Amino acid sequence: MTQGQYDTQTIGVIGTGLMGAPMARRLAEAGHRVRAWNRTPDKTETLREHGIDIAHSANDAATDADLVMVMLSSGPVCDDILLGAGSVISSMTPGAILVVMSSIPVETARGQAQAAEAVGVGYLDAPVSGGELGAIDGTLAIMVGGDPATYTQARALFAPLGRDVHVGPAGSGQLAKLANQTIVANTIATVAEALLLAERGGADPAKVREALLGGFADSTILQVHGKRMLEEDFRPGGPAKWQWKDTQTAQALADELSLELPVSRLVDGLFGDMVAHGDGELDHSALIRELRRRNGENPR
């Protein structure tokens, strides 16, 4: 989707941290009028150089905006700023669209959608995958939940940020993100087990990984995290403690849905053990250390 096919919009950006700041820059570079707010004002100063206005409050950023993009740290922080009397939602123009791009629980997103609808504001939940680099390069995977017409109206916002896919009604974006995180967690455990089997059996695990690339066992995790496991390079891209938070959120949702997901439940427990053993700050690929521990090895 090229950016040129969309009209210029006025976009309020709430939250300009590691992810929000480069996303705001990309929106401004695409020609949109961007007004940004962050709880810690010093994080907004460099944005001025990119033609972004700095708002004095979240409400100020939202007032008169066509689209309000939110990239705050958690569900409760979003609710705190978005909902209730005198909040962002009440400052928005009826017909404008609130796009929450934070990763928050499915139920929180559905509650926000209802609150927005009550004041005539459109709502989309649109969490992303791809990290800071994806935000800078505009290559994020954007998983969008909400009303189809609202989604179509909001695509001007997504185009400069990455590849958006509409996956269902409000809350579905968060569901897709949980599915993503579940696959990542389980595949890390899977690749770790396969490399351990190869190593203990007497093969060269680095060569085994190489042999498997391009075949049915290939995955982004085998390519990226498998390499980290072999090199024991566990500087965090994604820290294990965050991965565990995701697997816990997925399990809580599965419980609500009375859905038994045996592999995901087991892997949730493995990440919990890993964090309990003090490896929570390491990259999630360091789960291989937890498997070594279980097998009587003493990981360095």
Among 99, 198, 274, 275, indicate the residue that binds its own copies (CB under 8 A). 198
> Where in 203-242 is the site for its own copies (CB under 8 A)?
203-204, 207-208, 210-212, 214-222, 224
Q: Which of 5, 258, 289 is nearest to 152 (CA)?
A: 5
Q: How many residues bind its own copies (CB under 8 A)?
A: 72
Tell me if 26 contacts its own copies by CB under 8 A.
no
Q: Which residue has tokens 């709880």?
A: 39
Tell me if 149 contacts its own copies by CB under 8 A.
no
Residue (10 or 190) nearer to its own copies, CB: 190
CA–CA separation, 62 and 95 (whole Å): 13
Tell me if 7 contacts its own copies by CB under 8 A.
no
Q: Is 177 a catalytic residue?
A: yes
Q: Which of 59, 32, 58, 36 is nearest to 47 (CA)?
A: 36
Asked if residues 110 and 100 have their Cβ atoms less than 8 Å apart, the reply is: no
Instruction: Report in angstroms how near the CB of residue 164 gets to its own copies at its nearest.
Output: 8
Among residues 177, 207, 227, 245, the one annotated as catalytic is 177
CA–CA separation, 94 and 96 (whole Å): 6
Tell me if 133 contacts its own copies by CB under 8 A.
no
Q: Which two tokens mark 165?
A: 């896919």
Instruction: Report in angstroms how near the CB of residue 101 gets to its own copies at its nearest.
Output: 14
Instruction: Report in angstroms how near the CB of residue 104 gets to its own copies at its nearest.
Output: 14
Instruction: Report in angstroms how near the CB of residue 213 gets to its own copies at its nearest.
Output: 8
Could you tell me how far CA 62 lies from the centroid of its own chain?
22
Residue 3 CB burial class (10 angstroms; 0-12, 13-18, ≥19):
middle
Annotated catalytic sites, by residue? 177
